[in-house]
Amino acid sequence: MGAGLLDSKVVVISGVGPGLGRGLALQCAKAGADLVLAARNEERLDEVATEVEKLGRRTATVPTDIRDAAACEGLAGAALETFGRVDGLVNNAFATPPLTDLTKVDLDAVRAGFETNVLAALRLTRLFVPALEESRGSVVMINSAVLRHSRRTFGAYKMAKAALLAMAQNLSTELGPRGIRVNTIAPGYIWAPNLKWYFHHLAEKRGVTAQQVYDENAATTDLRRLPEPDEVADAAVFMLSPLARAVTGQCLDVNSGEWHH
């Protein structure tokens, strides 16, 4: 669907795994981009790179712990050394904060969540600003529908993601005069391997089928289904592409209509 939207572009994606990270890589490749893929798991990087290369696009895989400043500098250097330019950065890496009431949560664990989910994304973005300014490029932050509710035990999660959204909005204001757009994608549940495992786990605990758990959650959405990774990734492709050339500082929800914003 997005064929040609990212022709001749180079996109860096952090947090590449079997779910959304893979979807982002494949949809960007289908849109014509060459990719720099980053994650801690080298085996997963290689698997996704193989799929991307089968689509006819070039890849560079850079094992990276985004909490490590030197590793992030190495990622930025490798991207420019390999391709000579960077047109897009997708901050997808994420660590789940403790799912505990705020009145009880361990504050050190909350700080650790902020380190990965907010500060590491800021560090990585700052490293790519010179290259993105030269290409008049774009940054996409992957956020979450947790922004739209205040359910118990999700407080630390929402705090981190709200901070990530605020950071993206302020970066948009700072970087806009330099020709760099900064936007956010906020998915709800994504029907990917981790969620499939979780629904199966819930089904076993309740003595029902995984399909029943899926149907119950899908019933809370307008479309009566959960988004697939490629559908969330397509929103990121749009934000990276010239179609969104006047869009910055925005948050696009991709949740099949579970929440309206």
Going by C-alpha positions, the residue among 145, 143, 142, 157 that lies closest to residue 221 is 145
- Which residues face 141 on adjacent strands? 91, 184
Do 51 and 70 meet the contact criterion of CB atoms below 8 Å apart?
no
Q: Report strand pairing: 138-142 vs 10-13.
A: unpaired
Q: What is the SS3 assignment for 91?
A: strand
Do 230 and 21 meet the contact criterion of CB atoms below 8 Å apart?
no
Neighbours of 121 (CB within 10 A): 26
Pick the catalytic residue: 157, 189, 198, 214? 157
* Catalytic status, residue 214: no
Residues with a catalytic annotation lie at: 157
